[in-house]
Structure 1
Amino acid sequence: MDANSVFFFILTLFIGAGAGIFAYNRLFSKNSGKSMATTESTVLLESIEKVFKVVMAEGYFTEIYNYQHDKNFWNLIKDKKKALIIAKAKVLVGYDFGKMRFHFSEGDRKMIIDYFPDPEILSMDTDYKFYDIEQGWLNRFQSDDYTAILNEAKQTMNDKALESDLPRIATNQVQLMMFQIAATMNWKIDMELAESNKGHIKELGKYHPTQAKIENLEIDEES
């Protein structure tokens, strides 16, 4: 092989290698631009507190929430937006024993409760889904609208949970638990509550049946 042939062979190798590297870089950069994503997150721990909260009842709720907002522009154009929201929540009701006031009588082996707090919602896990979202040309949904809708739906769910039978169940459960634990340790519990507190706890422990009225149906029987 003469010198010209060797030179031509080496030149062909360099050109082919360069074209291959160029094509590979173009293909890699094109694909990587479409598929690669970078995310960053920062978690800040603000505080840690010791608590003595005990869950006594658990409930599941579903709420169908209709939202509609009508807007009138100069009494000429009426524009509305509306949405259907289905909200689901898991609600945990219990007691914060840090709010309870009590003292001990060592000689009598008694735990004397001076104040008994109300049951409260300790946790609420919610899930929202929006359906049938409609909006006009001028009256459109903004981020603040979604935030307001979710806050109102969550507050409604919170109110319904407190109006449900969960507080009664939690009240009866916590008293049963406390008396059973005291009995296993040969202690007694005395509830020396103020009259207002005593009456309130007694009322919470009552079962309130749903008031429902069923109308009589008139049925015409024809033979």
Structure 2
Amino acid sequence: MSKRIFTIVALVAVFVLGVIITRWFYRAEQKEIIESQSTILLDKVRDVMKLVTVEANFNELYNETRTRPVTLYLPLPSTFNFDKKAILEVRGKVLVGYDLEAVKITADSTDRVLRLSNLPEPEILSIDHQVAFRNLEESWFNSFTAEDYTSLSANAKEVLRKKVIESQLLDRARDQGNRMIDVIRFMAESAGWTVELEPGIGEELKVQIDSILR
């Protein structure tokens, strides 16, 4: 009797173990399989001389609506507008400063004069932005495509560029550049040299440099 009970218990244990193993394999087969492949292409490397004087962080919501008119014949021709709307959260870091590649520096050791020419105006050096899609609404005959997502990201970056131009960041970068020139003049005069500035861009820059030299 006990042998029969042991046999039944063993069969039940084997059955339960088989069910557990089967379910485990079934779940393993249902897991998402992710395959990725990347190709890194190094296009161009070149030396640059850029001076960052202002760094700004932006965080804003960007809304865009695109309308597609569609003419239907029911049986008379009627035009309907189908919209698709996107709300994006844009986080960006903007670097403003100077591209110093065209600046020329010459030293006259006889007269102990340091000449700086082709001084640039401040500009936007880089815009690093990240986009998070907060809401997407589509309609019939007007849905989002891969090209739309690319253009939305590009438009959001352009909005950041316009924000920088409308703000005082370029003026602030110009002030920082003038302070840098003051430091150069101080160091040169401490060593018995004289600094002469020869602007190459803009009448406004000439006025600023003249005020520095006074």
TM-score, normalisation: structure 1: 0.68
CA distance change for structure 1 residues 37 and 102 in 2, over 3 Å: closer, same or farther? same
Unmatched 5+ stretches in structure 1: 1-15, 206-223
Q: CA deviation at 1:26?
A: 9.4
CA deviations 1:84-109 (Å, max 9, x no partner) are 22322110111111122342222232
CA distance change for structure 1 residues 121 and 203 in 2, over 3 Å: closer, same or farther? farther
Look up the equivalent residue of 2:183 and give its one-letter code. Answer: Q
Look up the equivalent residue of 1:200 and give its one-letter code. Answer: E
Classify the secondary structure of the residue corresponding to 2:163: helix
Classify the secondary structure of the residue corresponding to 2:37: coil
Contact 1:179 1:189 in 2 (8 A): no
- Rounded Cα–Cα distance in structure 2 between residues aligned with 1:33 and 1:204: 69
Contact 2:65 2:86 in 1 (8 A): yes
TM-score, normalisation: structure 2: 0.71
Contact 2:199 2:206 in 1 (8 A): no
Contact 1:168 1:204 in 2 (8 A): no
What is the match of residue 135 of structure 2? Answer: 132
What is the match of residue 200 of structure 1? Answer: 204
2:56 matches 1:59:
yes
Query: Mean alpha-carbon deviation: is it higher for 147-156 or for 180-189?
Result: 180-189
Richer in strand (by share): 2
- Rounded Cα–Cα distance in structure 2 between residues aligned with 1:87 and 1:202: 37
2:180 matches 1:165:
no
Q: CA deviation at 1:29?
A: 8.4
CA distance change for structure 1 residues 154 and 184 in 2, over 3 Å: closer, same or farther? same
**How do 1:1-223 and structure 2 match up within 5 A?**
31=28, 34=31, 37-74=34-71, 75-185=78-188, 186=191, 187-193=193-199, 197=201, 199-201=203-205
CA distance change for structure 1 residues 198 and 67 in 2, over 3 Å: closer, same or farther? closer
CA deviations 1:198-217 (Å, max 9, x no partner) are 52326789xxxxxxxxxxxx
Contact 1:167 1:204 in 2 (8 A): no
Give % identity: 30
- Rounded Cα–Cα distance in structure 2 between residues aligned with 1:128 and 1:202: 40
Contact 2:199 2:205 in 1 (8 A): no
Query: Mean alpha-carbon deviation: is it higher for 105-114 or for 143-152?
Result: 105-114
Look up the equivalent residue of 1:131 and give its one-letter code. Answer: R
Contact 1:179 1:188 in 2 (8 A): no
Look up the equivalent residue of 2:168 and give its one-letter code. Answer: D
CA deviations 1:125-160 (Å, max 9, x no partner) are 112222332111211111111212221221121122
Q: CA deviation at 1:184?
A: 2.5
CA distance change for structure 1 residues 38 and 143 in 2, over 3 Å: closer, same or farther? closer
Classify the secondary structure of the residue corresponding to 2:31: helix
Contact 2:88 2:131 in 1 (8 A): yes
